[in-house]
Amino acid sequence: MSTEPAPLLALDLTGTFAFGLNGALTAVRAARLDVVGVVVLGMITALGGGVIRDVLIDSLPPATFLDWRYYTLAAAGGLLAFAVSRHLRRLEPAITVLDAVGLSTFAVIGASKALDAGLAVVPAMLLGVITAVGGGTIRDTLVGRIPTVLRTGLYAIPALVGAAVTVATTETGLYGLPAALGA
């Protein structure tokens, strides 16, 4: 189970569900996949960045496989997207907000875990960004799209800002839950 503070864990789990939902919606729109394909792409979107991070910092098995809530929420997001995909267009503004919460939370957690693993400032910031955008990049590649991170600056840049704030507050001894939530 996770050792993150409860509010950060709640945001992380919310982000995982939102990324699962968002990734599955992309699969429904871009590739017309069956339920298995949609759920798999939702899970890859939600969990892929964290798995990449954990492999790069040699934290094995990846944290996402040690806490059932992560893969369960990722799969639930994928299943929900498949089940009601025709009606989710109306909810896209809310999904976008949840996606932004997930992106920033994953950047903060990724940078924090990178620092805990002993990485220097710049690699920790980069790993925060990779944690935030890695799953979506894998998803886009699998459905034959140019990854979102390469198409829009307002995807990687907020992740970089969140990771940079996390690194800066950690390095100055100011890191804590308020700083993490602010990032």
State the average pLDDT over residues 113-127.
Answer: 96
Residue type, 66: L
CA atoms of 133 and 150, how far apart (whole Å): 10
Least confident of 33-37, 49-53, 90-94: 90-94
Whether 95 has a pLDDT exceeding 80, the answer reads no
Distance, CA of 6 to chain centre: 18
CA atoms of 167 and 176, how far apart (whole Å): 11
Cβ density class 123-162: b for 16+ within 10 Å, e for less = bbbbbbbbbbbbbbbbbbebbeeebbbeeeeebbebbbbb
Whether 176 has a pLDDT exceeding 90, the answer reads no
Domain coordinates of the chain in residue numbers? 6-182
CA atoms of 132 and 102, how far apart (whole Å): 8
Whether 88 has a pLDDT exceeding 80, the answer reads no
Residue type, 119: L
pTM higher than 0.85:
yes
Whether 118 has a pLDDT exceeding 70, the answer reads yes
- pLDDT grade, residue 153 (50/70/90)? low
Among 58, 78, 95, which Cα is nearest to 139's? 78
Whether 181 has a pLDDT exceeding 80, the answer reads no
State the average pLDDT over residues 64-81.
Answer: 96
The residue whose two tokens read 């939370």 is: 105
Give the pLDDT confidence score for residue 8 in this predicted structure.
Answer: 75
Give the pLDDT confidence score for residue 94 in this predicted structure.
Answer: 75
